A = this chain, B = another copy of it.
Amino acid sequence: MTGKEPGADSLLSRISQKLRAGGKVYGILGLLIMICVYTAASTDRFLLSGNIENLVHRTALFGILSIGAAFVIITGGIDLSIGSVVCLVGVLLPFLLTKHDWTVPAAVGAILMISLVIGLVHGLLVTKLRLQPFVVTLCGLLFYRGLARGITNDQSQGFGSGFQELRLIAKGRIPILGDAEGAFQLPATTLVLIVLAIVAAVFLNKTIYGRYLLALGNNPEAARYSGINTDRMVLLAYAICSMLAGVGGMLFVLDINAAQPSDFGNFYELYAIAAAVLGGCSLRGGEGSIIGVVIGSAVMVVLSNTINLVHPNYQNVEFAIIGAVILSGAVVDELVRRWLSARRAGMKVG
């Protein structure tokens, strides 16, 4: 290498690193801000504290699922069973509490246990039997929903008017800005998300295990040759994902108060994965940022809110709009990337 190269190279590497996660995060943040500005400009109801509360609340619920999805995606895998786990958990909680009079700790404990086991099974099938994550979790998608329908015999499960205290976890509002009329109150779920997100971000970026995940997502062989127990790490990722799906599922049903086995959580895995991808995770593995993922889910939540508030008559094309936005996000991201490297080349020549 020549003397001059290093400087340039480090620029290259720094930019490319930024582009890796950082850049994408800025990108998605920009998108979110744009949508918010547009909506706020179109209707004065958007910024009502009540609406903001709804938005951060919904973002929390989806964000929790998306963070889980992100961990699996970072290992280069995928989890299609998230929605079905949400469904299974969503019907089980009321089912156990109301139909079988379990105590709250027992029910919650059992459900977390089940989610954990589900995650471990996925992980074991992927690592020990070397099955493809897509296949394993696709079977999960079919299996857990079928299970939920079987257990409940196709009947919705709900809390009726009971378990109000428990439901506060999902419905509670914390008056952080005093309880003046119309003052913003922090939804409990948002608090949960903040805590989980911080823990997840620290875990991913500050602990050796996070480093291991990124390394093996990037090159499993090299990670294994470096003495990393890749199997255990992958197992961990799937466990985290299903656990978070379990937590999310419980919060969902506590919030909604009932779950229909046949469609509770349908397609949620796709939202979660989309949010993770929007947030800068590469499905090739080895890349991802927690904050980006959370913003990603916020984008989708706000988008549908925008449609409901500003264009209620376009509700039936909501999906089309969301799809179009995600795609354009990805396209713009790619184009910016190219433009930047073109610029770099230009700078170098000139």
Contact residues of A with B, CB < 8 Å? 78, 80, 125, 129-132, 134-136, 138-147, 149-150, 153-154, 262, 270, 273-274, 277, 282-284, 314, 316-324, 326-327, 330-331, 334-335
Q: A142-B322, A142-B326, A145-B319 are in contact. Are A134 and B283 (CB under 8 A)?
A: yes
Q: Which of B153, B154, B320, B330 contacts A143 (CB 8 A)?
A: B320
A201 to chain B, nearest CB (A): 23
**Please, which residue of chain B has its CB at the minimum distance from the CB of A148?**
B320
Q: Which residues of B contact A319 (CB under 8 A)?
A: 142-143, 145-146, 149
User: Is the beta-carbon distance between B143 and A334 smaller than 8 angstroms?
Assistant: no
**Please, which residue of chain B has its CB at the minimum distance from the CB of A121?**
B327
A218 to chain B, nearest CB (A): 15
Q: Which of B132, B138, B330 contacts A284 (CB 8 A)?
A: B132
Q: Which residues of B contact A78 (CB under 8 A)?
A: 134
For A129, A314, A322, A323, the residue with the greatest tally of chain B CB atoms inside 10 Å of its CB is A323
User: Is the beta-carbon distance between B323 and A142 smaller than 8 angstroms?
Assistant: yes
Q: A132-B282, A317-B146 are in contact. Are A327 and B154 (CB under 8 A)?
A: no
Q: Which residues of B contact A149 (CB under 8 A)?
A: 316-317, 319-320
**Please, which residue of chain B has its CB at the minimum distance from the CB of A273?**
B138
User: Is the beta-carbon distance between B135 and A320 smaller than 8 angstroms?
Assistant: no
User: Is the beta-carbon distance between B334 and A131 smaller than 8 angstroms?
Assistant: yes
CA distance A277 to B133 in the complex (A): 12
A179 to chain B, nearest CB (A): 40
A-B contact pairs, 12 of them (CB 8 A): A129-B331, A132-B282, A134-B283, A138-B270, A138-B273, A138-B277, A138-B323, A142-B320, A143-B324, A149-B320, A150-B314, A153-B316
User: Is the beta-carbon distance between B131 and A330 smaller than 8 angstroms?
Assistant: yes
**Please, which residue of chain B has its CB at the minimum distance from the CB of A132?**
B283
Q: Which residues of B contact A334 (CB under 8 A)?
A: 129-131
For A78, A262, A274, A314, the residue with the greatest tally of chain B CB atoms inside 10 Å of its CB is A274
**Please, which residue of chain B has its CB at the minimum distance from the CB of A152?**
B316
Q: A139-B323, A146-B323 are in contact. Are A131 and B331 (CB under 8 A)?
A: yes
A122 to chain B, nearest CB (A): 11
